[in-house]
Amino acid sequence: MALGAWSTKIYAKKETVILKDHGKELKINTLDENSKSNKDDEYCDIKDPSHCDPKSKKKQDQKVDFAKSKFKTLKYNDLNKIQKKLLDAADKVSKNSHSPYSHFQVGAALLCDDGEIITGTNFENAAYGSTICAERAAILRANSQGKRNFSRIAIIGRGKDFDTIDPVSPCGSCRQVIMEISQISNKNIEVIMSNSKKDKIIISSIQELLPLGFGPQNLGIKI
Ligand SMILES: [Zn+2]
């Protein structure tokens, strides 16, 4: 079925949705017997509903598999001295996280160009959207001290009652803010991401985590 102008991916709640194609209404029922019982999967891809099926192999394949990813995983002892110091600082402050809603404690530690380490933790809010992540908390704290030039950031996270298996990576908003300080610092900032036991660590960079990112340089602004 050709959907004309609607030929790109369309996401909608699992119910009957009506799309208009050149003035003609198309009714699509996205519910099926398998997806009715799949309450945890609220959205599905209408053009490819196979991943709404919990038994679908395609759905299972969407889970991030670090073993198959292009990122090499390291252990704590593979890190150099400064990377260890930075990760330890992030780990230490993660315990001060204010996370009564998610119970997910994150710590971040920034390495400033003058050698100082500045840390931050996530600070959640009853109005969830007002929550600040650990990475941005550290960056804002550094800024309040007049520091805007960095070379590295380490991130670690754990559940209140459980260890994280895979490395904790920065969310999209934090990647954008790290891109800002990366361009200010004129460095491709190194991002060290760790699970709670520090036995699965990925070292990447902001340019790798946010390819073709937008920053002050794209506005022709030199800061
Ligand atoms: Zn974030």
Antiparallel, parallel or unpaired: β 150-159 and 190-194:
parallel
CA of 6 to the centre of ligand 1 (A): 32
Q: pTM for the complete prediction?
A: 0.72
CA of 16 to the centre of ligand 1 (A): 34
Backbone angles phi, psi at 153, to 5 degrees: -140, 135
CA of 34 to the centre of ligand 1 (A): 34
CA of 169 to the centre of ligand 1 (A): 8
DSSP string, 125-177: -SSGGG-B-HHHHHHHHHHHTT---EEEEEEEEEESSS--SSPP---HHHHHH
Of 174, 183, 98, give the one whose Cα is nearest residue 140: 174
Q: Determine the Cα–Cα distance for residues 24 and 14; give it in Å rounded to an integer.
A: 21
Q: Determine the Cα–Cα distance for residues 137 and 119; give it in Å rounded to an integer.
A: 8
Q: Determine the Cα–Cα distance for residues 26 and 28; give it in Å rounded to an integer.
A: 6
pLDDT digits (tens, 9 = 90+) for 16-56: 444 444 555 555 444 443 444 444 433 444 444 444 454 55
Determine the length of the chain: 223
Q: Determine the Cα–Cα distance for residues 103 and 122; give it in Å rounded to an integer.
A: 10
Q: Is 124 a catalytic residue?
A: no
Handedness of CA 173, 180, 84, 98 (dihedral sign): negative
For ligand 1, an ion, list residues with CB under 5 A: 133, 171, 174
Cα three-residue angle 92-98-99, rounded to 5 degrees = 105
Catalytic hit among 135, 180, 190, 208: 135
Antiparallel, parallel or unpaired: β 43-45 and 24-29:
unpaired
CA of 2 to the centre of ligand 1 (A): 39
pLDDT tens, per residue, the chain with 223 residues = 333 333 333 343 444 444 444 555 555 444 443 444 444 433 444 444 444 454 555 555 556 666 567 899 999 999 999 999 999 999 999 999 999 999 999 999 999 999 999 999 999 999 999 999 999 999 999 999 999 999 999 999 999 999 999 999 999 999 999 999 999 999 999 999 999 999 999 999 999 999 999 999 999 988 7
CB-based contacts of 8: which residues, under 8 Å, 6+ apart? none
Structural domains of the chain in order of their starting residue, each with its CATH number: 7-61 (no CATH), 73-219 (3.40.140.10)
Of 159, 100, 94, give the one whose Cα is nearest residue 126: 100
